Structure 1
Amino acid sequence: MAEKGNTENISSDDAVPGRMEHVLCQPCSSKGKQTEADVFCSVCDEFQCMDCSTIHKTYAFMKNHKIVNAKEFKTKPVSLDMKGLDQCDIHHNGIEFFCEDENQLCCSTCAIVDHRKCHSVVEIKMIAGKPVSMRSEIKIKLQDIREKAELVVENTKSLTEQLDQDVNGISLKTETLEKLTKKQSDSEKHVADATKSLETIDNVHQNGTPLQQFILEQRMKKQVDELGRNVDKECQNLETVTVSFTFDEILRLPSLPISYYVPGELTLKYSTLEDVKPIAPVDPILKLTQISSIDLKQSGDDVEEPLLSGLDFLPDGRLLTVDNKNKKCLIYNDKLEKVGSYQLSYNPLSVVAVSEEEVAITNGGQYKIDFLHVSKYNEITCNRTCKVKLKYGSVCMKDERHLVVGAIDNTRPVGIVSLSGEEKDFNISFLNKNYPVGTSSCTYIRSSNKVVITDRNEHTVYIYDTATNTSVVVKDYQIKEPRGLAVGPSDCILICSMKTNAIVQISQTGRILSSYKLDMKSPRSVCVSKDESVLAVTNCYSGKTMLKTFKISY
């Protein structure tokens, strides 16, 4: 809703036919001057004359402010009651700032105490007027969540009714009915929450200020992700339900094909009704629990601060890394203690375990791939070198005899190299685009023959299906400057999002499953152990490079 501006800014006292109503410039009024307003700025939230309005041309951050003619805008919006959403959860102050490094809303205390070391903490008023908005994306997610929750409600109702009908006269185990009732109740609440959130979004975007709209969008991102995860959990195991009946005495079941008494325990399995829309299987959402963490410091014969540009686990669980700055191949044990080292003659980019005792290393400066032998005693020697026609960066295994490699500065960004050095292309229509060093990485999903590529500059992930020559393009506010990536449990894709300092989990179809915030800046390389139980990640943040391992669970 909107109401008249303050009475001190209206020169006419009453509505009289033929009399023009003049709104006064608020900055001038604060100086004791009475000047008629020419425009209204919705970001500054005030009427201004032309002279006062020229400040919008002086400062760059004010150029995106929305200004309208004062005569066409005789009313100004009243600040909407955000019901605490615009208050800091910790300090209970008004939210005024946004940390772009950590993607967090801040009050003035947060900005000073918790984000003083961050590089980009901006006043929300400076960016709230920008045209980019997540509203439509958030609404689509909420509508999808509501539809899923409604399907769960419909499904549980149908199952309960069918079970009551099929086992009429027999006392059901209350535990089974209680589970169905709880699932229905939880899903009905999810429907209500999604509906309420959609109404809140529409209300704030119709009646709220740009600052309030920005705060709501940031708040809603986390709420929608959490709500989506809860609904996905409810969607699991809906295809069938098993009910057990235990009889204390012999029971006659005349409807069965036998006419005798059936003693003991009878288990009946009921399938979902055919008229209920089936719900697609839900990809498991991973949980990461930190195991070990070390700071990577310059030491010994290091020329510079370490930069681990590539990681991979050996089959026995040892972690293999390459240090780009100091030209080394390194081995770490499960406690992240350095147990092996080998000096290279070039700056390595990536590494992959080819077998139990052999690894392959790429570099962006030379046309070759080195194959090193790694003994169980952590001794490293050079086995052989394969000359290639292109320069390669990222590398992973395609099968037991071939590598998948990311090409540097080539219109065919991903290729295949055999262990003997023979090169060939994928039968994929890639985008006609070159990727310089550090702007893209690739991986390969063996089970579905899919190639995944990150585009750091475009904040995009591409998933190419080699069988159908089709692709999925993934862009999301949770993926900013994607760098390294790896295939995780259930063939999900784990991506280093450098700008949001997170590991983002997506499905093979490109659906965002989760985003795990890391206690490190600019994560760049990630790998998963062969038994899919451990994840390792490192970063490229000057002065604070780290290496961490996490336990993977569901």
Structure 2
Amino acid sequence: MASGSSSFYKGSDLIHDYSCFTCEENDLNTEAQHFCPKCEHYLCDKCVKIHGDYFKKHVVYGRRDMQKWAGFSMDRCAQHGKELEVHCDDNQELCCSVCVAFNHRLCSSISHLRDLARGFLNTAEFKQLPAAVDKMRSRLDELKNERMKDQTSLNDSHKNIISEIKDLRKEINQILDKLEKRTVEQLDSMMEDLEKSIKDDLEACAHMHDKLGIMIAKLKKSASKNKESSSYIGFRKCESKLSEANCLVQEIKEKERMKFKSDENVLPFLRNLNSLGNVDNVYVYKAQSSSLYKVHMYKCNIEGICELPSGEVVIAERNNDRLMLLNRQFEVIGHCHLPLPPRHMCHTKGSEVAVAVTGIDASTISTMHAIHFHALTKGKLQSVRKFTIDFQCISIAHHLEKLYLCSFNALYLYTMNGNIIQKLYEDNSSYRTMHNCAVSPDGERIYVTNQIHSKFITLDTSGQVLSTVEDPDLKYPSGLCVSPSGHVFVCGETSNTVVQVVPEGRKKLVIVAREVDGLCSPHSVWFSEQTSTLIIGNLSNNSITVVKLC
């Protein structure tokens, strides 16, 4: 934008960046030096004085405040202040005469606004605009309110994280205090032993000193009386005692003195730390919309849900012993019969899923428990391999070619070939203390739901409990899932909720979906990061609930 008296000649006309509105009305070409937003008029030095006499309360901006000139008039160019006259079809821009002269001389298609506007008031496009603006303004108000809530939540999160940091510091201090106490106890014990050793040495020295004095006195006495035999005997005994004293002196001199050597790993480890931990930006999801999709003619129990990399969704349905294949529109496009009812399912790799099945084997008329692997091949789910286990598996999870299998009371780690590695965790406090399990993307945390006690438990890789969450919004927790980015979602079967939990598993983050979103005893859940949607299987229901998140 030009300033001061900027202008240029076109033919015989002088074109200003801003022209005085009043002078233009009188067919005069004068550059504007002032702007009145109330009148939406650009004024020269002469006209601004007349304007001031008539409108004393109007605020007028001079050239020093030119950033305030633009944007006040709908019909005027925001850049040059002149009347908008044409539309550049090449650049899709509204233009004044200065715009055309400066920026659009080479454009091939210029349309007059009067021609474009003829009959425009009666078009549907124009009539729908106010509603669209109102809708957007309402959405902006909602967004503003949400961000205000987020601001409050952010302050709360900041306080909570500060509290967590201080708690961590206290725990570190407690650990250091214990280490110091143990080290001092070792020092005190060594001090006691060394004090006793010094006391014993002092007594031994004193005793040897006196013994040598007595022996040498007796030897001198025998020698003074020329008693050769007695003197010889005394000499040999004194010589022996002298050798004994020499050994005592050497022994005392060689005794190790007390000293302290710090653990060489402690200080370098602490010095290499940049902080006490990382503060991550955790996405908090909210339900935006929800829909129900019918997947069966009759009520059924959907035990497991997972999405394949290609976008298809696989559902394990117990009542009819089968896997169902859904397309991206959640339409059933295929199914695969299972020899036994499925209890749970997880994605392993590529287009493969692992299904935990249990029931009566018709061929042997005996109970059988097994893990079946199926893969999507040429648009169909086909059996790949299987292995049997000796307990009823009610949940299965996969991470780095390892399988995590849950019984009603224990969690086991297996190889993909069916060999047990170890029992990770067990809780025999009551019947059915475990229902579902999942693993964090880095494999450092294992999440478990305990329905009978309404607990969400987080374990480390050795099976030690890191944290336990009990929340009124998470009653009778059942299904859970962890996304590739680490977002954790848990079903509250009797609270009719799906709750997002912090990745560390320490606390509930937010209720993502509720009964109003179509939940009815949510039993299984999957979060699709491709589409930001939750896919929820309700207990004894023939539909899945799909919740779009934002």
TM-score scaled by length of structure 1: 0.46
Greater relative contact order (Cα 8 A, min sep 6): structure 1 or 2? 1
Task: State which structure, 1 or 2, has the greater radius of gyration over its C-alpha atoms.
Answer: 2
TM-score scaled by length of structure 2: 0.46
